[in-house]
Amino acid sequence: MRVTQLNVTQKNVTQLNETHDPALQSWVSSANFAGTDFPIQNLPFAVFRRSGSNEAFRGGVAIGDAVLDLAAVHAKGIFTGPAGLAVQAAAAENLNAFMALGPAVWSALRLALSRALRAGAKEEHALQDCLLPMAAVEYTVPANIGDYTDFYTSIYHATNIGKLFRPDNPLLPNYKWIPIGYHGRASSIGISGQHFRRPLGQIMPPGAEKPVLALSKRLDIELELGIFIGAGNALGESIPIAEAESHVFGICLLNDWSARDIQGWEYQPLGPFLAKNFATTISPWIVTLEALAPYRTAFTRPAEDPQPLPYLDSEANRAAGAFDIQLQVGLQTPRMREEKQSEHVFCRTSYRHAYWTIAQMLTHHTVNGCNLRPGDLFGSGTLSGPTLEQAGALIEITAGGKNPMPLPNGEQRTFLEDGDTVVIRGWCEKPGAARIGFGDCTGTVMPGKVV
């Protein structure tokens, strides 16, 4: 069977169907536990292998506290038709070919998995052999990421940062018209658990006459979501907003580590460069837009703000273009780790506060004919909400390092110190829908190296 790009409009990825039924139970009992990130209504994708092995990485689906090995499912020939082709593509060492197949095929696999993992399914016996305990696997970056673009879609973050860098002119006049972004660096994107060196860079000390080369002292985090592109577009062909979401495979958590002292000196006139490209960490599990359908919410603008230009506007985008994804960020210092204390959560917010939607980011990115490819990654930009408790970067919480953040054990932080681990978590929950989660995205700062 030849898989062609089926005609899938935004409608297909927003509608609820049998896979979202909150009453569904799985024969994998841990998927039915209250509070699990991975019930049968979620079914996110990652690339994994047994921890510490030399096995080939391959695609997997999370179900409760287990991973369903898609290479094993493919080898057994359990699924046929579009779902079988999807499994074949997803059994590879990265998900690019699977992402390229488009939403009709992703959706066919989701339906087949949902039915086969349900309590009483006839596939239970065959699929039992394809499960591995999640605790016994390791992950890698799930796609060969050709290009990475980081946006800036929280107006609260843009305003807070703007006040620190440009007190007299915090929000630039283009912000409310353009989904602002820059082209980032794909080579330094790592998977959750990433350890990276504190970066060395050129810094202009306050009041100094010339810059110095030094290790960053103002190392920060940025709470973001990562958006993986599915099927791409040909160079020269833009993607209208009505079709934008059919090009989005799914969403993960993302930490855009940022060296604020390097950034402050280098960022004008062309934007972030070495302050951002030394490490970016993503969570292993990609939650599909279809799984997130129950958590769509209206995209609105304050009445006094300009409404988006027509190419960034649609009825569907206004009705349901935003997502209510709960997010939190925690910090665990080396002392907390020694004393067996879990991370201190210092930020709680939601993706629903973003000023631009995913569809708007994607449509704007291609409006000039720029071609996206399967496996490309967008960062949402730091997802700070309206209050200080919802700020997704230390530079906002500490007012540029002026107000240290106290920790429960008496320690404090302005920016990150060596050995600090940052943990981002994300989930969706509301009455009438199954709670689904993203797992976590952790990264640890290692001492820098002076040349």
- In the complex, least distance from residue 254 CB atom to Ca ion, rounded to whole angstroms: 8
Least distance (Å) between residue 186 CB and Ca ion: 14
Are 158 and 55 contacting, i.e. CB atoms less than 8 angstroms apart?
no
Does residue 222 touch Ca ion according to CB under 5 A? yes
Q: How far is the CB of 279 from Ca ion (least distance, A)?
A: 12
Q: Strands 421-428 and 326-332: what pairing? A: antiparallel
Rounded to whole angstroms, how far apart are CA atoms 408 and 61?
Answer: 37
37, 220, 256, 266: residue in contact with Ca ion (rule CB under 5 A): 256
Applying CB under 5 A, the span of 70-78, 143-151, 318-326, 339-347 interacting with Ca ion comes to: 143-151
CA end-to-end span of the chain, whole Å? 57
Residue 116 three-state SS: helix
Q: How far is the CB of 288 from Ca ion (least distance, A)?
A: 23
Cis peptide, bond prior to residue 44, ω within 30 of zero: no
Catalytic residue among 20, 74, 125, 157: 157
CB within 8 Å of 167: residues ≥ 6 apart: none
Helix (H, G, I), strand (E, B) or coil at 160: helix
Region of 79-87, 193-201, 255-263, 419-427 interacting with Ca ion (CB under 5 A): 255-263
Q: Smallest distance from the beta carbon of 396 to Ca ion, in angstroms? A: 13
Residue 157 annotated to the active site:
yes
Binding mask 332-351 for Ca ion (x = CB under 5 A): --------------------
Q: Where are the beta strands (DSSP E) in 147-193?
A: 148-151, 181-183, 189-191
**Toward Ca ion, which CB reaches closer, 123 or 220?**
220
Nearer to Ca ion, 222 or 343 (CB): 222
Contact region with Ca ion (CB under 5 A), list: 75-83, 172-180, 256-264, 386-394: 256-264
The C-alpha atoms of residue 424 and residue 283 are separated, in whole angstroms, by 9
Query: According to CB under 5 A, which residues from 150 to 169 bind Ca ion?
Result: 150
Two tokens, residue 157: 């973050």
Name the residue nearer to Ca ion (CB basis): 1 or 270.
270
At residue 200, the 3 state secondary structure works out as strand
By CB under 5 A, residue 220 contacts Ca ion: no
Q: Which is nearer to Ca ion, 147 or 150 (CB)?
A: 150
Q: For 214, list phi and psi in degrees, rounded to 5.
A: -155, 165
Q: Mark residue 157 as left, alpha or beta (left: phi above 0; alpha: psi -120 to 50; beta: remaining).
A: alpha
CB of 252 to Ca ion, least distance (A): 15
- Pairs from 262-267 (Cβ < 8 Å, separation ≥ 24): 262/199, 262/201, 262/202, 262/203, 262/216, 264/165, 264/203, 264/204, 265/202, 265/203, 265/204, 265/211, 266/201, 266/202, 267/165
Closest CB to Ca ion among residues 47, 358: 358
150 versus 261: smaller Cβ distance to Ca ion: 150
Give the binding range for Ca ion (CB under 5 A) out of 86-94, 195-203, 251-259, 436-444. 251-259
Catalytic residues: 157
Instruction: Give residues in contact with Ca ion (CB under 5 A).
Output: 150, 222, 256
